[in-house]
Structure 1
Amino acid sequence: MNQKIFVSAKEVADRAGVSRSAVSRTFTPGASVSEETRRRVMEAAEALGYHVNHLARGLMRNESGLVCLIVSEMDTPYRASLIRAISRQLQNVSKIAMLINTDRSDKSVDDALRLAISYRADASIILSGMPDKSISDLCVKSGQRLVLINRDEEREGALMINLHDREAARRAFIAFQRAGCRRLAFANSDVGTPSLMAREEGFVSAAQAAGFEVAVERFGSTRYQSGVVLAQRLLTREVRPDAIFCANDLLACGVMDTARHQFRLEIPNDLCVVGFDDIEQASWSSYELTTFAQPVDRIAEEAVSWLAKPLYDAGLSCKLSAELNWRGSVRGG
C-alpha cells in the first residue's frame, strides 16, 4: 500500500522558481508578495496538490488551533444545537473543534482534559461534568484555556457561562398563576446538574413565597422516557397537578404525551405544561410547548470571543437570560 506523501513548501518553491519564504508569504493573509510571484506559486501549488499545514504553522507559534468540546449526551436536541453553534463560531475564527464524548462523571471530564492537553489544544469548552481543581490548574499551567457552560463552581482563569435559571423558574410560576393553576408540580431528572437544580429550586421558592406548595418528582436522565415516568408518578397522586414545569423540553414532551394518551387529559384545559430549552420539537403542532429558549448562539459567541482575547485576560462569569416562548401548552399563552 502506497503511503501518502504530503507536498512540502520547498517543493512548491522549487517548481515555481521562487524562495521558500515567498511561498510562505503567498499563503499568509496580508503579507507582501508581487502578483507575478503569487501567480507562479499558486500554479505550482495547484499542480503539486499542495495545502498549507496550518497545524505545523500554529505549533511554531505555540498554538495548535484546536479547541476541545467535552460533551455528554451529544445526541439530545439542545446539546446538538449548542455543538453546532460553537463549532460554527470556532470555524469563523479559524479554529478547529475536536469533539470528545464523555459520560456525566467528573472523572471522564478529567480524562478528556488530559487528552486535550496531550494534543496541545489551545482551549477546552466543557459542557458536561466538572473537572478536578488540580486538572484545571494543570490546564492553565499548560497554557490551555477553559470555558465552563452551566457549571456552578468557579475556576481561576476560566470563563463561566450560566443562565438566569432561577429567574426563568419564577416567570414559569407567574405564567401558571395567571392561567389560574393552583396545583403545581416540577418534573426533574436525577442528573442534578446546577442548571436543572436551579430551575427546580427557583420554581419551588417562588411558589412557596406566594403560598403554594409544589409536588416535586425526579427520575432518570433528561430524556423523553423519563418524562413518561414522571407524568405517571405525578398524575396518579391523590391531588393531581394542573400545572407542571419540566426541567427541559424532552421531559415535557414525555409528560404531555403521557397526560394526553394515558390519562386522557386535555392540554392546556386540564393541564398546563412549561418546558426549557426550546428544542425544535417544542414548536411542532403535536406539542406547541411553551418553553424557555436557550440562547445557544449567544453562548457560542461569548465562549469563542473570550477565547480570542489575550491570555492575560482574567477569567470571568457571564450570565445570560432565557426568553419565554409562548405557545399553546399554557392557558392564556
Structure 2
Amino acid sequence: MANDKVTSMEVARRAGVSQSAVSRVFTPGGSASKATVEKVRAAAEELGYRPNVLARSLITGRTRMIGLVVAYLENQFYPVVLELLSRALQDKGYHILVFMAENSTEKVAQVMEELLDYQVDGIITASVAMTNDLTARCTAVGIPVVMFNRGQDDARLSEVTSDNIAGGRRATEFLIAGGHRRIAHVMGWQGASTGRDRATGFRLAMEAAGLEPVAMIDGMYSRETAAQVARDLCAGSDRPDAIFVGNDHMAFAVMDALRFDLGLSVPDDVSIVGYDDVPLAAWPAYDLTTIRQPVNRMVEATVHALLDQIENPDTAPSKVRIDGPLIVRASARKPE
C-alpha cells in the first residue's frame, strides 16, 4: 500500500540522485536525462511516492490549471472542443477545470470569481462573453483570457474563431449557385459575434447576387426556437426554397421540423446548409451540407495564444480568424 508520507528526499536516496533531480523529473517541462528519469520513476514506484502538486504550486506560483468556461454542452460542437482542448493542454503539462455558466453577466461573474479563487494560470471562455469589469480583474491579477469561438471588441482579450463572415458568405453563395433565389437565414444568436458575423456573410452574398432575403430570424442557437422558425417559414405555399442555418445544432432541428412536422423533402422542397460540421452532420439521417469549423487548428491556436501569455506575460493579446471549408453532402441542391 502506497505511503503518502514518502518524501522526495527518500526517493533521491533510493535513486542515487539529488533532490533537485527528483523535482525536475516530476515537473512538467523539467530537464532530466533519460537515465535519471528511469531511476527516479523506478524509485518512486518502489516507495509509493506521489509528488505534492499543491505544494509545488506554492513554490512555483503556478497551479498548471486552466479554467474553461462554457455556456452549454447540448451543441455537439462543444464536447468535441472540450476533449481536444483537454488533450492539447495535458500534452503541455496543464489540466482543465471546467465550469458551466449560462450566458448571463451574473452567472459568468460568479464562475469567474471561483476560477480566480482556484488561482488558475489562464482562462478559456467558449462562447461566453466577458464584461469590462471581469476583464479588468483578470488583467490586474495577470491571468490571461482567450475567447474561443467568440469575438469581443476589447484589446485586452485574445480570441480565436473561424472566419465567420467568409463562412456565412460561402454557404450562401453555394445555395445561390444551386439555383436558389428564395433564401432565408435562421441566424445564430445576435448577441454573439459568431451569429452576427455569419449573418453579415449571408447578407453580403445576397446583395452581391442582387437578391433580397426571404427572412432573417434569430434562432437563438436553440433547437426549439429554430424548429418553430422553420415551421413558421415553411407552412405556406410561399415558403423559401433554401435556408442557411447559423449552426448545425439548429440545422438538425430545422430539418426535423420540415420533414416530420410539415412533410417536406430536404433538399427537393427546401435545401438546408448549416455551420460547424459536428460529427452528427455526417450521419446518413442528416447528411448535412455545412461549413466546417477548423476545430483542430482553432484549438491549437487557442492553446498557443494562452500558454504564450502565461509564459511571457508581456505578450500582446491576439485576434485569430481561421477560414473553414464548405463540406458538400446531400441536404442542399448542388450547382450543375
Residue 186 of structure 2 aligns to a residue whose secondary structure is strand
What residue number does 2:319 align with? 317
For these two proteins, the number of residue pairs brought into alignment is 328
Unaligned runs of 5+ in 2: none
For the structure 1 residues 312 and 245, does the alpha-carbon distance in structure 2 shift closer, same or farther, using more than 3 Å as the test? Answer: same
Aligned partners of 2:265, 2:178: CA distance in 1, in Å?
Answer: 15
How far, CA to CA, are the matches of 2:253 and 2:32 in structure 1?
A: 57
Q: Deviations over 1:191-226 (max 9, x none)?
A: 631101221232123213422221335466424333
Equivalent residue number for residue 332 of structure 1: 334
Q: CA deviation at 1:155?
A: 3.0
1:201 matched to which residue of 2? 200
Q: Tell me if structure 1 keeps the 8 A contact 2:186–2:244.
A: yes
C-alpha spacing 1:63/1:270, structure 2 compared with 1 (3 Å): same
Amino acid at match of 1:332: K
Q: Indicate how the Cα distance of structure 1 residues 164 and 237 shifts in structure 2: closer, same or farther if over 3 A, else same.
A: farther
Matched residues in 2 for 1:171 and 1:66: separation?
Answer: 38
Give the match for residue 97 of structure 1.
Answer: 96
- SS of the residue 1:214 aligns to: coil
- TM-aligned CA deviation for residue 163 of structure 1: 2.4
Aligned to 2:115: 116
* CA root-mean-square deviation: 2.5
Helix, strand or coil at the partner of 2:6: coil
| 1:319 partner letter | R
Q: What code does the residue aligned with 2:324 have?
A: A
C-alpha distance in 2, partners of 1:22/1:149?
Answer: 38
SS in 2 for 1:199: helix
1:269 alignment partner in structure 2: 268
Match of 1:246 in 2: 245
The whole-number CA distance in structure 1 between the counterparts of 2:32 and 2:119 is 27
User: What's the % identity of the aligned pairs?
Assistant: 32
Alignment pair present for 1:169 and 2:171: no
Within the alignment, does 1:46 sit opposite 2:49 as a pair? no
SS of 1:308's equivalent in the other structure is helix
Query: What residue is the counterpart of 1:284 in the other structure?
Result: 283
Counterpart position of 2:178: 179
| Equivalence for 1:210 | 209
Residue number in structure 2 paired with 1:30: 31
Q: TM-score, normalised by structure 1?
A: 0.89
Given that residues 277 and 291 in structure 1 are in contact (C-alpha distance below 8 angstroms), is that contact kept between their aligned partners in structure 2? yes
Query: 1:165 touches 1:199 (CA, 8 Å); kept in 2?
Result: yes
AA at the equivalent of 2:150 = R
Q: Distance in 2 between matches of 1:258 and 1:26?
A: 57
Report if the CA contact (8 A) 2:151-2:160 is conserved.
no
Amino acid at match of 2:334: G
| Contact 1:107–1:131 (8 Å) recurs in 2 | no
Retained in 1: the 8 A contact 2:220–2:226?
no
1:160: Cα distance to partner?
1.5
TM-score between the two structures when normalised by the length of structure 2: 0.88
> Structure 1 pair 191/107, CA: closer, same or farther in 2 (3 Å)?
farther
CA contact (8 A) 1:25 1:32 kept: no
Does the 8 Å CA contact 1:227/1:250 hold for their aligned counterparts? no
Aligned residues of 2:4 and 2:50 also touching (Cα < 8 A): no
Q: Which residue of 1 aligns with 2:221?
A: 222
Asked whether the equivalents of residues 219 and 229 of structure 1 are also in contact (C-alpha less than 8 Å), the reply is no
Instruction: State the AA in 1 paired with 2:301.
Output: E
Q: CA deviation at 1:257?
A: 1.9
Measured after TM superposition, the shift of residue 153 of structure 1 is: 2.1
Q: Which amino acid aligns with 1:31?
A: A
Rate the CA distance shift 1:55–1:266 in 2: closer, same or farther, 3 A: same
* Mapped contact 1:26–1:38 kept (Cα < 8 A): no
